[in-house]
Amino acid sequence: MTHVPHILIVDDDERLRELLKKFLHENNMRISTASDAAKAAELLKIFVFDLMILDVMMPGETGFEFIQRLKTTSDRLQSLPVLLLTAMGEVDHRIEGLSYGADDYLSKPFDPRELLLRIQVILKRTQAYDSAIKIKLGSVIYDPETNHLSLNNNAISLTTVESNLLKILSKYPGRPLSREELVELYGEEMNPRTIDVQMTRLRRKIEKDPKLPRYLQTVRGKGYVLMTDTE
Low-confidence ranges of the chain (pLDDT < 50): 231
For residue 75, what is the DSSP state? T
Residue range 162-179, pLDDT digits in tens: 988 998 898 888 888 888
Every domain range in the chain assigned CATH 3.40.50.2300: 6-131
CATH 1.10.10.10 fits 135-226, yes or no: yes
C-alpha dihedral, 170 to 174 to 178 to 184, nearest 10°:
-30
Residues 6+ apart with CB under 8 A from 121: 104
Pairing type for strands 223-226 and 216-219 reads antiparallel
For residue 161, what is the DSSP state? H
CA distances from 197 to 191, 194, 200, 202, 207 (A): 10, 5, 5, 9, 15
Every domain range in the chain assigned CATH 1.10.10.10: 135-226
Q: Looking at residue 94, what is its pLDDT? A: 65
Q: Looking at residue 89, what is its pLDDT? A: 59
Q: Looking at residue 92, what is its pLDDT? A: 61
Q: Thinking of the domain 6-131, which architecture would CATH place it in?
A: 3-Layer(aba) Sandwich (3.40)
